[in-house]
């Protein structure tokens, strides 16, 4: 009877450890996501401000259209790059959060 209780306590402790490791991986992933989002927001704001300055100083309509087109192209490329980075962060976060459970599931399968 005592052996069974010890096994239950060990199993409960192991499950708690796995959950904590998984939670830590999620926390790190969300921190990376927040940092990346803040950096992207800063870069986007700075890029927009520079484009506005160039647009305001454009000597002709043709030059203004050129400045705006360049800004839209770089903004789109930046967005696609950012979406890719965010996808990679979420993928890594899911992989790292699942990793602690692999060992536990392997034990259960036996």
For helices 2-56 and 61-109, the axis angle rounded to 10 degrees is: 170
**Is pLDDT above 70 for 110?**
no
Q: What's residue 9's pLDDT? A: 81
Q: For residue 31, give every residue at least 6 positions away whose Cβ sits within 8 Å of its Cβ, in sequence order, or none.
A: none
Domain count, the chain: 1
Q: How far apart are CA 103 and CA 101, in angstroms?
A: 6
Mean pLDDT, the chain, integer: 89
Q: What's residue 7's pLDDT? A: 74
Q: What's residue 108's pLDDT? A: 65
Tell me which DSSP letter residue 57 carries.
T
Reported as type and span, the H/E element at residue 26 is helix 2-56
Q: What are phi and psi of 100, to 5 degrees?
A: -60, -25
Q: Look up the domain containing 68 and give its range.
A: 2-109
Give this prediction's pTM: 0.76
**Cβ proximity of 67 and 52 under 8 Å:** no
Reported as type and span, the H/E element at residue 1 is none
Using one digit for the tens of pLDDT, what is the confidence trace for 55-103?
999 999 999 999 999 999 999 999 999 999 999 999 999 999 998 888 7
């Amino acid at each position: 009877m005592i052996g069974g209780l010890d096994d239950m306590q060990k199993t409960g402790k192991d499950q708690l450890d796995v959950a904590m490791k998984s939670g830590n991986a999620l926390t790190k992933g969300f921190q990376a996501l927040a940092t990346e989002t803040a950096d992207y927001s800063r870069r986007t704001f700075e890029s927009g401000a520079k484009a506005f300055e160039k647009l305001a100083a454009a000597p002709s309509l043709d030059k203004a259209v050129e400045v705006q087109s360049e800004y839209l192209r770089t903004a789109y490329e930046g967005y696609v790059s950012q979406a890719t980075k965010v996808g990679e962060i979420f993928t890594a976060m899911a992989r790292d959060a699942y990793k602690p459970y692999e060992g536990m599931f392997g034990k259960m399968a036996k």
